[in-house]
Structure 1
Amino acid sequence: MAGAPGRVVGIEAVWDGDTTHDWFVILLAVTEDPPGERELATVHRGAAVRLLGEGPYALPHPSAAAADRVGRALADRFGVPFHFGSPEVASYGAPRLRP
């Protein structure tokens, strides 16, 4: 994957949030040799609704549903695992692919 700091070994979705955007999901390319990660996309609620429509969604939050769909497609495309530690509940403490 162009611009990644090393060989991509997984795609990961992680929650983040702030007072302006509420909760959103960041898609990351996880690398090794050297270990690291590269941000691929930030999925805000508005973008998720535009991508998926008004719902209902497979996951409770539209950002999670869109990130899950796109993250799985990317992982399949590159032949690597996809990880989303807490797709049902927004949390900073969700388990990560690599601690």
Structure 2
Amino acid sequence: MESLAARAAGCPGRVVAIEAVWDGDTVHDWFVHLMAITDDPAGERSLATIYWGTAVRYLGEERAPGSLHPSAAAADRSGRALAARLSVPFHFASPETPDDEAPRWRP
């Protein structure tokens, strides 16, 4: 959490939301980008990319079989915590199903 908060604090402009966004490729399968959405003209900055293996290590035994994709579960937990810490909204349009075309956050 400390490193995510530090990265968010280094963003140009004021952070107005934290968003989790699906992505994927043939090497890593599905993964989630944790993004800071800012009021700066650049608009967003990646805070972390959460791959399956990293998510499983982060979640440990807390992930129950049949639950969310590990990357989604880790992004949801850490994104909600960071958003609460920054007092901004958290948005994850499709936590249950990987979808790289899910609607993005809008103010």
TM-score with structure 2 setting the length:
0.84
**Count of residue correspondences:** 99
Normalized per residue, the structure richer in helix is 2
Correspondence 1:91 to 2:68: no
2:18 aligned partner: 11
Shift of 1:15: 0.1
Q: Percent identity?
A: 68
Q: Secondary structure at the match of 1:53?
A: helix
Superposition pairs for residues 1-99 of structure 1, below 5 Å?
1-34=8-41, 36-54=43-61, 55-56=63-64, 59-98=67-106
TM-score with structure 1 setting the length:
0.91
Distance 1:58-1:73 versus aligned 2 partners, 3 A rule = farther
Distance 2:49 2:76 in 1: 12
Shift of 1:11: 0.1
Unaligned runs of 5+ in 1: none
Distance 1:58 1:41 in 2: 25
Q: Secondary structure at the match of 2:30?
A: strand
Distance 2:28 2:99 in 1: 15
Normalized per residue, the structure richer in strand is 1
RMSD of aligned Cα (Å): 1.9
Tell me which moved more, 74-83 or 32-41. 32-41
